[in-house]
Structure 1
Amino acid sequence: MPQNTAHWPPGLPRHLTLPQTHVFYNLEVSAARFPDKPFTVFYDTPLTYAQFLRETEYLAGHLQQVCGVKSGDRVLLCMQNSPQWALAFYAILRSNAVVVPVNPMNRVEELRHCLTDSGAQVALVAQDLLPQVGPLVDATGEGLRHVVVATYSDHLRAPTDLRVPDFVAAPRLPLQAEGMVAWADAVAAGRVPGPLTTGPEDLCAMPYTSGTTGLPKGCMHTHRSVMSTLVGGVRWFGTTQDAVCLSVLPFFHVTGLSGSLNGPLYAGATIVVLSRWDREVAAICMQRYRVTMWQAISTMVIDFLAHPELDRFDLSHLACVRGGGAAMPDAVAARLQALTGQAYIEGYGMSETMAATHINPLHRPKRQCLGLPVFDVDARVVDPDTLTELPAGDTGEIVVHGPQLMQGYWHNPQATRETFVDIDGKRFLRTGDLGHVDADGYFFMTDRLKRMINASGFKVWPAEVEALMYHHPAIQEACVIGVRDARRGETVKALVVLRKEHRGRVSEDDVIAWAHEHMAAYKSPRIVEFVETLPRSGSGKVMWRELQEQQAARDATTGHFP
């Protein structure tokens, strides 16, 4: 079905010619053009483009000459949003290596899988996350051999009246373990890296996404696919070198990486970075730095608008509020527009597509809508079984073809084969999301084909949570489902069958506390219900869908939000 182009953004071409360059080149260009302009502002401390480039080069030199990083090596990046996160990303690229950005909320076992699966032997880690990364360091064995440890407060060089999180303000601590070196020492050595030898077709970044099998998979992205969404976002939103972006979405996630870091750097813009969401600090920074663009998920906007004294801040420079991950409630979008004059511009993408494949046009957005397929994207709604394209209005699976598609899953050819299909001679990604196209060509999500929970915009895959819960000695069986939640949209619930010897000795709260210690907070069950048995199909499989439907019916009937 030909795509409806009636509401395509005025003045933008349908085809976008992408630079045939390495992503690191974007930094070299912006540093040459705007050397004295702040790239990052971190709790009132600026870092210019020239300073950013110089520190990146020295860090890359350390990676190559001390850590032995070679072309194509995978390097783990585990930090909260900070100048060091951005510096680490570009230093890894400058060393001709591949960035493996991991969720800083991950616990030891979750990180262990990313480490062993990717084969990374070097990591750049923040000081506050050493308790989770430290157990993976083995300078002589199969674990991490080299760890560069960043201290956020090293980049707090200016006085500030902003509320700085304790973990950001914490002073540098001495390092005792073999294989670890302080970031400041690595940079101070001033080592110069060798030549840049990788190019647009080489691997650039490998974010991990979970799946129905329960094991996270590395999405192989080249410099070309990473370039696609960062350049596309800059063009779609008209980002210029004079833009000021509030960068509060996590950089480890492709949405924040592309829209709040890589895109602004390409444009030569300034990013105001917060390591932890704080609505008061965000409002002060919007006023102080005349923020023009804010990329946020719905929960951030809801919290921001709940600020009791929001009217005392000057938000008049805000020209764009954008995001995705979870639909923005209509009433919240209306309040945001009444306060700022800005519509919330929603988009849609996946780790497999390095962020957006669909974005609403700024001149004619629709609420709770994925938007239009962006530059060079062929998106269709097909019958999940026959892959036949469906007419407008009919619900089917959304499939996408475009320059931002990953190459496949790292060392997982079977999952790659199951994810991609050939339609009309093109390679399409099966998103697993059910949706429809309206008469104007806008895409809407209807439901999910895959088993997934969307908690505050984070994708939670029940099979992965269940696999982690089976490590609890008292759990015989577990089934994880989604429950409606007023703040998070959905939250995680686990139906648990205890082993007989533990019944009466372990409480639901005990299991919740254990889960919180052993997995990332966003995926940790917030509700646990003990049951005698779990329903099974004739083949013996747990009937999770039946339990999910029962919970959905209960939520709809009672209107209960846990």
Structure 2
Amino acid sequence: MANLAALLVGKQVVNLNYTASSEALVAGMRNAGVRHVITSDRFLAKLQQRGIDLDTAFAEATLHPMEGLRAEIGKAEALALLGIGSLLPAGVLLWLFGRPGRPDDTAAILFSSGSEGTPKGIELSHRNIMANVRQISDVLNTEPDDLILANLPPFHAFGLTVTTFLPLLEGIPMVCHPDPTDAVGTAKAIARYRATVLCSTSTFLRLYIRNQRVHPLMLQSVRVVVAGAERLAPEVRDAFALKFNKPIYEGYGATETTPVASVNVPDALETETWKIQSGSRPGTVGLPLPGTSFRIVDPETLKTLPPGEDGLILIGGVQVMKGYLNDPEKTADAVVELDGQRWYKTGDKGHLDPDGFLTIVDRYSRFAKLGGEMISLGAVEDQIRRILGQPELELAAVNLPDERKGERILLLVAGEIDADGLRKQLLEAGVNPLGIPAEVVQVEGIPKLGSGKTDFGAAKRLALAA
């Protein structure tokens, strides 16, 4: 309600990441020029319980709790506004209360997850959001009786565009739950209101599998499950299908692309030719959305590479951001124009197969250079989990400077582990010796962002401190 009301009167909305540090919140609000924060007394109390210093974080802004705003509206005024809103045409309401804007005006400013550094302010236009909503609605084949579960935080592009704006703008009912980590509460909401579309992350979907109180019948009404924001772990996909008898369709994108760029969808049968239209391919992140293009290029020369060859993933389409807030240099570095089209340089390494399905290998920033060879830190993590037979083991591989090899790999592990035994198992399994961690450090927990993804910046700081 607050987001739509702000947009209606021509404001730019900035949904603040309450899981970020006070320093990051203050820096973001200064960068975006935030002077007023619409919030809730109950929510502020929750933040204080989590140890967040509200006086520091919001020292330069005025807080407006919605409970207080509601109390200022008398019964007669509320009834009058209800009547006006119900009876008058939309055009008249817009003339009375709204402030018309242009499609390319900034609608929302989102701050990146900060998983690899300082969060950047990303400007998304009305055109970006409206286009991505329509693209997602088309590929999901939204139906008249659909109901979308909305439990992803609106400070994340996945939560703002897919589970907030999409249902509101497309006229699809939504049921809201405030905590994506509450698997039981979310499952109860799905069962009680018969939700049909569940969008989540691999980390959050794992919680439904592990929690014995989440019965398969609680998700019986769901017709499609989409995972995004991070790589879908194969063990999560398999275990979810085993427990709930429902496939997870993996998608891909970035905050800079509003966020969705591609998604796997159910296969379709063409009854005229009796051919199967392939909409999904396990291990890939699907085909690009209508109006979206992928291009795999050499990261240095930006020369287009052939299908099957790994390179830098570029995303082109109407949902590519306006740019980074107050940072034209970073914008010019991240968005390049090729063949008359704007392309976002994702920083991800991947390849396209001959049918156009995209496979992600890893982040370019998540490679360690040892002895002149590039080692994927994500691959190191996967092979350790596989060899130990612990697919849910919390760990993070970090590259640190090394005088002899250039870099070395340090492994952070949440839990007990025999470092010498692990090295022996990895060698016996024929793992590339360069991919074997030089050090193993046990920690209480792997740092996480509010979206559930590993906070690699904090993990690196933790590794350096160790």
The equivalent residue for 2:246 is 342
CA deviation after TM superposition for structure 1 residue 298, in Å: 1.0
**Partners of 2:116 and 2:207 in 1: how far apart?**
34
Contact 1:207 1:219 in 2 (8 A): yes
Which of 129, 143, 147 is 2:63 aligned to?
147
**Partners of 2:396 and 2:312 in 1: how far apart?**
24
RMSD: 3.4
The equivalent residue for 1:122 is 36
Which of 311, 333, 336 is 2:237 aligned to?
333
CA deviation after TM superposition for structure 1 residue 314, in Å: 4.3
The answer as to 2:173 corresponding to 1:280 is no
Q: Name the CA shift for 1:111/1:447 in 2 (closer, same or farther; >3 Å).
A: same
Larger helix proportion, structure 1 or 2?
A: 2
CA deviation after TM superposition for structure 1 residue 341, in Å: 3.5
Task: Give the SS at the match of 1:98.
Answer: coil
Which of 168, 192, 212 is 1:265 aligned to?
168
CA deviation after TM superposition for structure 1 residue 417, in Å: 0.8
Contact 2:398 2:411 in 1 (8 A): no
Report the AA paired with residue 135 of structure 1: T
**Partners of 1:336 and 1:210 in 2: how far apart?**
26
Matches within 5 A, 1:322-471: 322-363=226-267, 364-450=279-365
The equivalent residue for 1:501 is none
**Partners of 1:414 and 1:200 in 2: how far apart?**
24
Task: Give the SS at the match of 2:347.
Answer: strand
Of residues 396-405 and 371-380 in structure 1, the stretch that sits farther from structure 2 once superposed is 371-380
**Partners of 2:328 and 2:291 in 1: how far apart?**
26
Contact 1:361 1:371 in 2 (8 A): yes
Report the AA paired with residue 412 of structure 1: D
Task: Give the SS at the match of 1:100.
Answer: coil
The equivalent residue for 1:199 is 102
Which of 305, 315, 319 is 2:223 aligned to?
319
The equivalent residue for 1:111 is 25
Q: Name the CA shift for 1:252/1:96 in 2 (closer, same or farther; >3 Å).
A: same
Task: Give the SS at the match of 1:450.
Answer: helix
CA deviation after TM superposition for structure 1 residue 286, in Å: 2.0
The equivalent residue for 2:84 is none
Gaps of 5+ in 1: 1-86, 152-181, 454-480, 496-533, 538-542
Contact 2:399 2:410 in 1 (8 A): no
CA deviation after TM superposition for structure 1 residue 285, in Å: 2.0
Contact 2:261 2:292 in 1 (8 A): yes
Q: Name the CA shift for 1:421/1:494 in 2 (closer, same or farther; >3 Å).
A: closer
Q: Name the CA shift for 1:213/1:259 in 2 (closer, same or farther; >3 Å).
A: closer
CA deviation after TM superposition for structure 1 residue 448, in Å: 1.3
CA deviation after TM superposition for structure 1 residue 440, in Å: 2.0
Q: Name the CA shift for 1:548/1:412 in 2 (closer, same or farther; >3 Å).
A: farther
Report the AA paired with residue 329 of structure 1: A
Q: Name the CA shift for 1:312/1:397 in 2 (closer, same or farther; >3 Å).
A: closer
The equivalent residue for 1:158 is none
Task: Give the SS at the match of 1:219.
Answer: strand
**Partners of 1:398 and 1:294 in 2: how far apart?**
27
Q: Name the CA shift for 1:408/1:310 in 2 (closer, same or farther; >3 Å).
A: closer
**Partners of 1:355 and 1:315 in 2: how far apart?**
26
Report the AA paired with residue 30 of structure 2: T
Q: Name the CA shift for 1:391/1:559 in 2 (closer, same or farther; >3 Å).
A: farther
Contact 2:409 2:438 in 1 (8 A): no
Contact 2:350 2:358 in 1 (8 A): yes
Contact 1:241 1:268 in 2 (8 A): no
CA deviation after TM superposition for structure 1 residue 88, in Å: 1.5
**Partners of 1:403 and 1:320 in 2: how far apart?**
25
CA deviation after TM superposition for structure 1 residue 227, in Å: 0.7
**Partners of 1:331 and 1:439 in 2: how far apart?**
26
**Partners of 2:297 and 2:66 in 1: how far apart?**
47
Contact 2:398 2:409 in 1 (8 A): no
The equivalent residue for 1:184 is 70
The answer as to 2:161 corresponding to 1:246 is no
Per-residue CA deviation, residues 447-498 of structure 1 (Å, 9 max, x unaligned), is: 2123599xxxxxxxxxxxxxxxxxxxxxxxxxxx999485486548798xxx
CA deviation after TM superposition for structure 1 residue 103, in Å: 0.9
Of residues 371-380 and 124-133 in structure 1, the stretch that sits farther from structure 2 once superposed is 124-133
Identity of matched residues, %:
26
**Partners of 1:439 and 1:558 in 2: how far apart?**
40
The equivalent residue for 1:135 is 56
Which of 162, 182, 204 is 1:300 aligned to?
204
**Partners of 2:438 and 2:248 in 1: how far apart?**
27
CA deviation after TM superposition for structure 1 residue 222, in Å: 0.8
Contact 1:318 1:340 in 2 (8 A): no
**Partners of 2:399 and 2:71 in 1: how far apart?**
46
The equivalent residue for 1:99 is 13
CA deviation after TM superposition for structure 1 residue 215, in Å: 3.4
Task: Give the SS at the match of 1:313.
Answer: helix
Aligned residues: 370
Gaps of 5+ in 2: 82-95, 268-278, 369-376, 386-390, 413-433, 446-466
Contact 2:399 2:408 in 1 (8 A): no
Q: Name the CA shift for 1:360/1:329 in 2 (closer, same or farther; >3 Å).
A: same
CA deviation after TM superposition for structure 1 residue 241, in Å: 4.2
Per-residue CA deviation, residues 179-201 of structure 1 (Å, 9 max, x unaligned), is: xxx34335557698743221322
**Partners of 1:557 and 1:256 in 2: how far apart?**
37
**TM-score, with normalisation over the residues of structure 1?**
0.59
CA deviation after TM superposition for structure 1 residue 223, in Å: 0.4
Task: Give the SS at the match of 2:345.
Answer: strand
CA deviation after TM superposition for structure 1 residue 384, in Å: 0.5
The equivalent residue for 1:76 is none
CA deviation after TM superposition for structure 1 residue 418, in Å: 0.6
CA deviation after TM superposition for structure 1 residue 258, in Å: 1.4
Contact 1:343 1:365 in 2 (8 A): no
